[in-house]
């Protein structure tokens, strides 16, 4: 079984400040990890993903995430928040080719950016 926990359903930062959105996963096998962003009344867009190889993954819009196996974490960061980053962010885990192994999503974190 696999699961994802996103700490903090709401995060508020000032424009220009560091963005840190936390994601911890549980998986019995090496996971594949994803971060998606959702703007109001829209679908989800992939920000970045970790499959194998380098544990620091860079994505779109200046976001990056680091896979830390020892901490079972995949936190999303951005050095400097922009007003356009305000959205909901979802962390997701998958564990490979096998019937029933689906993308499992965390509950989401709504990021608010203050001017």
Partner 1 sequence: DGGITQSPKYLFRKEGQNVTLSCEQNLNHDAMYWYRQDPGQGLRLIYYSQIVNDFQKGDIAEGYSVSREKKESFPLTVTSAQKNPTAFYLCASTRRHQGNTEAFFGQGTRLTVV
Residues that bind partner 1 (CB under 8 A): 9, 32, 34, 36, 41-46, 49, 51-52, 90, 94-103, 105-108
Least distance to partner 1, CB of residue 107, Å = 4
Nearer to partner 1, 3 or 80 (CB): 3
Burial 16-32, CB ≥16 within 10 A → b, else e: eeebebbbbbebeeebb
Least distance to partner 1, CB of residue 78, Å = 20
Measured CA to CA, the distance from residue 4 to residue 72 in angstroms comes to 10
Q: What phi and psi, each to the nearest 5 degrees, are found at residue 8?
A: 95, 105
Nearer to partner 1, 86 or 105 (CB): 105
């Amino acid at each position: 079984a696999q699961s994802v926990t996103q700490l903090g359903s709401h995060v508020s930062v000032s424009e220009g400040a560091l963005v840190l959105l936390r994601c911890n996963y549980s998986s019995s096998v090496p996971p594949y990890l994803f971060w998606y962003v959702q703007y109001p009344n829209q679908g989800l867009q992939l920000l970045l993903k970790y499959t194998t190889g380098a544990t620091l993954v860079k994505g779109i819009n200046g976001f990056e995430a680091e896979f830390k196996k020892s901490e079972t974490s995949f936190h999303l960061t951005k050095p400097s928040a922009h007003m356009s980053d305000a959205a909901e962010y979802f962390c997701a885990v998958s564990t490979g080719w096998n019937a029933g192994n689906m993308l499992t999503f965390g509950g989401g974190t709504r990021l608010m950016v203050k001017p």
